[in-house]
C-alpha cells in the first residue's frame, strides 16, 4: 500500500526542530511580558465575511489564497489567513474597548494561505504578532516597532532592515489613487496583465510590482507623501523622531503600501539579508478604520505580524538538540532494573533530565547512546555495583570516574553542576 503524505506547503515539526520553536516562543513571550502585551487566542476558522470585509475583497489573500468552504449548515467559513481581522472581531465582540481604553494583545498561531510553496513560503505557516487598540498617537507606533526589533535582536537576528512609510488617511489614499491612475494612464499598454487589473481595482498595489520595466516607469510616479494631510505628515514625523530617540534605524520606503486594505498612516516591513526571495520577516501598520469597518466603535489600532518559519531560517541551525539529558543511567542485568527506574524517578523529581536504556543493550551500546544523547554524566550500575552498594559515576566530558554509595547517589548527583 502507498503511504499517505502531508499536504504540499505544510510541514511536520519534528523533535530535531521543535526545541528551536520552543526557544523562539519562549523569547517572544518573555519580550511580550516586558512590553506589557497579553496573549489572545482565536479560533482556527471564522466566517468568510470577516476577511472579505476586514482584509478587502480585492487583496491577493481574499481573492486568491483563502481556504474557504461552505459547511453542512450552509455557512461560508475560512481557515484564518491572518490574525488582525480575527483579533479585531474578538475585541469588538467582547467589548474589550469598553473595559479598558487601551488593549495591547499578542498572539502566536498557525495561518493558512494557498500560495505557491517555496523556501520561506508555506500554505500553513506560523506568525507571532501584536495588535494594540485604543491610541491614535505616534508613541504606540514607535513602541510596536521597537517591540518587533526587540524580539528579533533578542534571538540574535542580524542583517535586518526596517522600511517605513505612511500611506496617510483614507482621504489621502483616495487622492493618491487618482494621481497614480492619471500618471499611469499613458503607460497602460506597457503594463502587465496583473498591473492592468490592479490599475482598475487597487492601483496602490501596482507599487508592489517586481517587473523591471514597470519599476522603471514608476520611478517618476507621484509619491503618496504628496497627498498626505498636515496631520498625516505630523504623525509620521513624530513616529520617525521617536524611533530616532530610541536609536532604531530605518529606511524611508515611499512605495511600501502593503497588501492588505485595512492600513492607514504608518506601514512598515522588516527584511533580512539572511533570507532569499521571501525576505520579509515582518509586516505591519496602523489600521484606524478596521474596528469600525467590522461593526465596532471607531477605534484606532496598530500591529504587526512576523513569520516564524522565516525567523528560524534566518537564525540558522544550531547543533544542540536542546533536550540533552543531564544523566544517562547505564543499567546492566535484570536485578538492577528496579533500582535504575527508582533512581531515575527520584532524580527527575529533583529537576534533572535523566535517560536510561529500554532496549536491554550491552554496556558498550549503552555508553555509546549516553554520549550520542549528549548526557553530561553516566551512572553505571550492574549486579556487582548493586552488591557492593556503590555505583560508578562517570563525567562524560572529562572521562573522570568515581564510586558513589547508592544511598548517597541522589544527593551526590543533585550537588553536581550541569
Ligand atoms: P503579512 O505581511 O501578510 O501581514 O504577513 C506578515 C508576515 O507573515 C510576513 O512578513 C511573513 O514573514 C509571514 N508570512 C506571510 N505569508 C507567509 C507564508 N505563506 N509562508 C510563510 N510566512 C508567511 C499580516 O498578516 C498582517 N496581519 C500583519 C499585521 C498585523 N498588520 C497589522 N497587524
> What percentage of the chain carries pLDDT values higher than 70?
99
The answer to whether residue 187 is domain-embedded is no
Nearest to residue 369, comparing CAs of 335, 407, 331?
331
Which atom of ligand 1 is nearest the CA belonging to 84?
A: 27
Confirm if 306 and 128 have CB atoms less than 8 A apart: yes
Domain contains 272: yes
- 22 and 151 inside one domain: yes
CB contact set of 113 (below 8 Å; sequence gap of 6+): 61, 65, 66, 81, 123, 125
For ligand 1, atom 8: residue with the closest CA: 307
CA of 108 to the centre of ligand 1 (A): 12
Cα–Cα–Cα angle for 74, 77, 78, rounded to 5 degrees: 160
Domain boundary among 315, 340, 362: 315
Residues 252 and 131 in one domain: yes
Q: What is the pTM of this model?
A: 0.91
Asked whether 281 lines ligand 1 (CB < 6 A), one says yes
Do 295 and 402 fall within a single domain?
A: no
Question: How many Å lie between the centroid of ligand 1 and the Cα of residue 63?
Answer: 16
Q: 274 and 397 share a domain?
A: no
Does 40 map to a domain?
Answer: yes
One domain, residues 147 and 263: yes
In-domain check, residue 184: no
124-133 and 45-47: which strand pairing? unpaired
- Tell how far the Cα of 299 is from the centroid of ligand 1, in angstroms: 22
CATH of the domain at 290: 3.30.930.10
- Average per-residue pLDDT for the chain: 94
- State which of 259, 289, 315 marks the end of a domain: 315
Assess whether 156 and 254 both reside in one domain: yes
| C-beta 115 within 6 A of ligand 1 | yes
The sign of the dihedral angle between the CA atoms of 367, 371, 374, 377 is: positive
Residues facing residue 330 across a β-bridge: 380
Looking at the fold, whether 298 and 396 belong to one and the same domain comes out as no
Domain total of the chain: 2
Q: Is the CB of 261 under 6 A from ligand 1?
A: no
C-alpha 336 – ligand 1 centre gap (Å): 55
CATH of the domain at 356: 3.40.50.800
Length of the chain counted residue by residue: 418
Domain boundary among 256, 285, 315: 315
Is 8 among the domain residues? no
pLDDT of residue 207: 86
**Mean pLDDT computed over 120-134:** 98
C-beta 331 within 6 A of ligand 1: no
In a domain, 356, yes or no: yes
In sequence order, the β-bridge partners of residue 126 are 110
Q: How far is the CA of 210 from the centre of ligand 1 (A)?
A: 18
For residues 238 and 381, membership in a common domain is answered with no
Over residues 161-198, the pLDDT tens digits come to: 999 999 999 889 889 999 999 999 999 888 888 888 88
Grid coordinates 479598558 are at which residue? 100
Measured at the CA of 76, the angle between CA 305 and CA 291, to 5 degrees, comes to 45
- The whole domain housing 243 covers 15-169+229-315
307 Cα–ligand 1 center, Å:
6
Q: What does DSSP say about strands 160-166 and 103-112: parallel, antiparallel, or unpaired?
A: unpaired
Residue with CA nearest ligand 1 atom 4: 283
Is the C-beta atom of 305 inside 6 A of ligand 1? Answer: yes
23 plus 57 within the same structural domain: yes
Grid cell 520552543 — which residue?
Answer: 22
Q: Rounded to the nearest whole angstrom, what is the distance from the C-alpha of residue 83 to the centroid of ligand 1? A: 9
pLDDT of residue 319: 58
Contact 78, 66 (CB under 8 A): yes
CB-based burial label for 259 (10 Å; 0-12, 13-18, 19+): middle
Edge-to-edge strand ranges of the sheet holding 68-70:
45-47, 76-79, 68-70
Least confident of 113-117, 131-135, 203-207, 286-290: 203-207
pLDDT of residue 317: 76
| Cell numbers that stand for 118 in this block | 517555496
Predicted confidence (pLDDT) per residue in 306-361, tens digit: 999 999 999 987 656 567 899 999 999 999 999 999 999 999 999 999 999 999 99
Q: Is there a domain that residue 311 lies in?
A: yes
Whether residue 405 sits in one domain with residue 289 = no
Q: What is the mean pLDDT of the segment spanning 13-29?
A: 95
**Does residue 267 or residue 417 have the better pLDDT?**
267
Task: Give, for ligand 1, the residue of 42, 108, 127 to mutate: max count of ligand atoms closer than 8 Å to Cβ.
Answer: 127
Ligand 1 nearest-atom number relative to CA 303: 33
Ligand 1 within 6 A of CB of 309: yes
Q: What is the mean pLDDT of residues 97-101?
A: 97
User: Does residue 103 contact residue 135 with C-beta atoms inside 8 Å?
Assistant: no
Ligand 1 neighbour 84 (Cβ under 6 A): yes
| Same domain for 89 and 41 | yes
Answer yes or no: is 199 within a domain: no
Shared domain check, 116 and 20 = yes
Instruction: Give the strand pairing for 103-112 and 38-39.
Output: parallel
Tell which residue, 88, 85, 72, has the closest CA to residue 111.
Answer: 85
User: Ramachandran region of residue 351, left (φ > 0), alpha (ψ -120 to 50) or beta?
Assistant: left
- Categorize the per-residue pLDDT at 31 as very low, low, confident or very high, splitting at 50, 70 and 90: very high
Distance between CA atoms of residues 221 and 3, nearest Å: 54
pLDDT of residue 321: 59
- Provide the grid cell at 4: 499517505
What is the number of the ligand 1 atom nearest to the C-alpha of 123? Answer: 19
Amino acid at each position: 500500500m502507498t503511504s499517505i503524505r502531508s499536504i504540499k506547503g505544510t510541514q511536520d515539526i519534528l523533535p530535531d526542530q521543535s526545541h528551536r520553536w520552543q526557544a523562539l516562543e519562549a523569547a517572544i513571550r518573555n519580550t511580550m511580558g516586558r512590553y506589557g502585551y497579553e496573549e489572545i487566542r482565536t479560533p482556527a476558522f471564522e466566517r468568510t465575511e470577516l476577511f472579505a470585509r476586514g482584509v478587502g475583497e480585492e487583496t491577493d489573500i481574499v481573492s486568491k489564497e483563502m481556504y474557504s468552504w461552505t459547511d453542512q449548515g450552509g455557512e461560508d467559513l475560512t481557515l484564518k489567513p491572518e490574525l488582525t481581522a480575527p483579533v479585531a472581531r474578538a475585541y469588538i465582540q467582547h467589548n474589550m474597548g469598553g473595559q479598558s481604553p487601551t488593549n495591547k494583545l499578542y498572539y502566536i498561531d498557525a495561518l493558512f494561505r494557498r500560495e505557491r510553496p517555496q523556501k520561506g513560503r508555506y500554505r500553513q505557516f506560523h506568525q507571532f504578532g501584536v495588535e494594540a487598540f485604543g491610541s491614535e498617537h505616534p508613541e504606540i507606533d514607535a513602541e510596536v516597532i521597537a517591540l518587533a526589533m526587540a524580539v528579533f535582536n533578542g534571538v540574535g537576528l542580524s542583517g535586518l532592515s526596517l522600511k517605513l512609510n505612511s500611506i496617510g488617511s483614507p482621504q489621502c489614499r483616495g487622492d493618491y489613487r487618482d494621481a497614480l491612475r492619471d500618471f499611469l494612464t499613458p503607460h497602460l499598454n506597457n503594463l502587465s496583465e496583473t498591473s492592468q487589473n490592479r490599475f482598475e481595482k487597487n492601483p496602490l498595489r501596482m507599487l508592489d510590482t517586481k517587473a523591471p520595466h514597470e519599476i522603471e516607469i514608476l520611478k517618476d510616479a507621484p509619491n503618496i507623501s504628496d497627498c498626505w494631510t498636515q496631520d498625516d505628515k505630523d504623525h509620521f514625523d513624530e513616529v520617525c523622531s521617536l524611533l530616532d530617540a530610541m536609536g532604531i534605524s530605518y529606511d524611508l520606503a515611499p512605495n511600501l503600501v502593503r497588501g492588505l486594505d485595512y492600513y492607514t498612516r504608518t506601514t512598515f516591513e522588516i527584511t533580512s539579508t539572511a533570507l532569499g526571495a521571501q525576505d520579509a520577516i515582518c509586516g505591519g501598520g496602523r489600521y484606524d478604520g478596521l474596528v469600525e469597518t467590522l461593526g465596532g466603535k471607531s477605534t484606532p489600532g496598530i500591529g504587526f505580524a512576523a513569520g516564524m518559519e522565516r525567523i528560524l531560517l534566518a537564525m540558522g541551525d544550531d547543533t544542540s538538540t536542546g533536550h540533552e539529558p543531564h544523566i544517562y543511567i547505564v543499567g546492566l542485568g535484570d536485578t538492577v532494573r528496579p533500582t535504575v527506574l527508582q533512581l531515575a524517578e527520584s532524580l527527575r523529581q529533583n529537576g534533572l533530565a535523566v535517560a536510561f536504556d529500554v532496549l536491554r543493550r550491552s554496556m558498550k551500546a549503552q555508553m555509546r547512546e549516553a554520549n550520542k544523547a549528549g548526557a553530561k554524566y553516566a551512572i553505571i550500575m550492574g549486579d556487582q555495583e548493586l552488591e557492593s552498594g556503590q555505583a560508578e559515576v562517570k563525567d562524560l566530558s572529562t572521562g573522570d570516574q568515581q564510586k558513589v554509595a547508592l544511598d548517597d547517589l541522589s544527593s551526590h548527583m543533585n550537588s553536581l553542576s550541569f
